[in-house]
Each structure stands twice: as C-alpha cells, then as structure tokens.
Structure 1
Amino acid sequence: MAQPDVRQAAGSGDGEDESGPHDRMARLPGMPSQVSRARQLVTSALGRDHPFYDDVVLLTSELATNAVLHTRSGCDGSFTVTVTSSDALVRVHVSDAGSEGPPCVCRTGAQATGGRGLPLVEALSHRWGFVREGGATTVWFELVHSAVPAEVAV
C-alpha cells in the first residue's frame, strides 16, 4: 500500500493566508482504511486539546468517507485532506476525484444507515460549501473561534 503524501499546508487556497505552524495536508488512497488516516491528520494539525478537536475529527471523517464511497476517488483513486488552523478558525478541505452529481444534503429517514454526513457538516460547522472544477470536487468547512463576553459566559 502506498504511503500517504503528508505535507505542511501552504495556505487555505482561497487567497487568504491563515496558515499556522501545525497545518497539514495529505493525499490518501481512496480506500475505507484511509478515513482513519484523515482523522490522524486532524490530530497532528490540532492536537487533542484543541476546543474544536472532536467536531473537526467527526466532520473530516464524514467528508473522507464520502470521498471514498461516493466519488471516483474510491475506484483506485485518491483524495486530499487539508487542515488549516489559525487563532480565528479551523478550515478543512477534502478534495476528491469527482462524481456524477454535486454533493447532496439529502434528508434521510430514521431507519437509514447513511446519508447523514453533509447534514452533520451543515449543522456543526459555521460555514461550509463545495467547489466542482476540472472533474474534481472539494468540500470544505470552517469552525470559527468566537469570543464570548464574560458577562454571558456560564
């Protein structure tokens, strides 16, 4: 099995340079076993003590799973995970080899065993979206640090 290509991230890719010293990027084989590698990348970038750690791990896992199960990345391809953090936010991009249609925030029934990934991203992130270009899809989300005034804190 090929080893993942892990690198320091070089910015967020949208013109803003909010990279921190612990930002990471990895190109991973499009196999279910690599979803845990995506979670490890979050741990490497943020550390387990980060206030958004649990949410970022969950949402990254959902997007990585989607890349493997619902795109051409899962057919002997690969996907890329980028974790960028700053004092203001955490941003994760998962880029895959694309699919027939755009990502869908589909509502599923209570008995369904899948279909909750993007609704979770929508519910837990401050912002999210996707870009489809050149046959590939990048789904991203952000969690924003917000200061709570002392008189409001509980």
Structure 2
Amino acid sequence: MASRAEGVPKERPLTVLGAVVLPGTEQAVALVRRYARALLGPGFPDLYELTVVASELFTNAVRHSRSGPRPGDRRGGHVTVSFLAGAGVVRLEIADQGGGGAPRLRAPDDNGEGGRGLHVVEALSLGWGSERRDRHTVVWADFARPGDEPISACETRRPDG
C-alpha cells in the first residue's frame, strides 16, 4: 500500500548489500542511521534522505508493532533493517514482528503529534510500500542509485545480547 509506489516496479532483481537486527527500542534508531552511513558511504547521493526515511520507518515499527517494548518489558522485540540494490535503485526494508495492520497514509491532525511520517517517506523516496512476510510486516522505500556498478557486499549482523 503506497501512493507513488505504483510506478516503481516492486518485483525487480535485488542483491542484499547488508542487514542488521536491532532491538525494538526508539533509542536504536541512531544505530539505523549509523549503519546506513557506514554501509552506503558518504558518496551515496540520497544518503541524508535515506537516513531520514529509515528513522521514520524504524520508529513506526517500534511504535506500531510487536517489535516495540511490551508492558512490563522495556526491551521489546527486534527489527530487521536491510539494504538491497538492483539496477538503478537502493531499497531500504524495515521488517518488524507484525502488528495491527499495514501502514497507510492518513491526514495528519494539525494539533496532533502523529500522522506525518509516511508523508515524509513518500516525499523523500522514489516510492514505498508494505507487505506481509510470514508474521512480519515489511515496509520498503526505494532510492535512486547512480550507475549500474556491480554489487559485491553482503553482510548480515545480529547485535550481541
């Protein structure tokens, strides 16, 4: 479910650049940005926009899914952050532990604190969408990747603890 994603082919061949499993806490959002900068490097043209979108989607996963802290357990679950690349695109995927439904754009309340994040995602990415994979909700956003240089990096990490 996305608005501009209709013009972005979702089924394209993609290669995993890297993935990391992080704790489902809002404090871990800084790790998402740090990981994106380290993986994609300072030369990636949309690095700032991608890190803003990653922050929004990660925070949504923590707040609106079973990945976030549970009553009586401040640790929460986990969120998997993946970066994939294909012809002309880098895709960010945020996979949570499932929740109440698919993310959707909504009209923000002028006085409310929420409802703006997915509008930011839409404005800064080529397109975005979501899907269910097993019991997980995966939200993705695409960014332009200049050139068609070969991709050789593939890394998956799980934090200790």
- 1:60-119: CA deviations, max 9, x gaps? 000000011111000321000011245611110000011112112111023322221111
What SS does structure 2 have at the residue aligned with 1:72? coil
- For 2:129, the equivalent position in structure 1 comes to 129
TM-score, normalised to structure 1, is 0.77
Higher mean C-alpha displacement, 114-123 vs 68-77: 114-123
| Shift in CA distance, 135/108, structure 1 to aligned 2, threshold 3 Å | same
- 1:18-54: CA deviations, max 9, x gaps? 44xxx22100010111111111111011112311001
**Structure-2 separation of matches of 1:114 and 1:62:** 11
**Are residues 1:43 and 2:37 paired?**
yes
TM-score, normalised to structure 2, is 0.73
Report the number of matched residues.
132
Q: Percent of counterpart pairs with the same letter?
A: 34
Structural mapping, 1:1-150, within 5 Å? 16-19=13-16, 23-75=17-69, 76-85=76-85, 88-145=88-145
The CA RMSD measured in Å over matched residues stands at 2.2
| Shift in CA distance, 72/50, structure 1 to aligned 2, threshold 3 Å | same
Gaps of 5+ in 1: 1-13, 148-154
> Is contact 1:95-1:139 (8 Å) kept?
yes
Higher relative contact order (CA 8 A, sep 6+): 2
> Is contact 2:109-2:115 (8 Å) kept?
no
Gaps of 5+ in 2: 1-10, 70-75, 148-161
Partner AA of 1:136 in structure 2: H
Deviating beyond 4 angstroms after TM superposition, the runs of 4 or more aligned structure 1 residues are none
**Structure-2 separation of matches of 1:127 and 1:93:** 12
Higher mean C-alpha displacement, 43-52 vs 63-72: 43-52
What SS does structure 2 have at the residue aligned with 1:73? coil
**Structure-2 separation of matches of 1:136 and 1:80:** 10
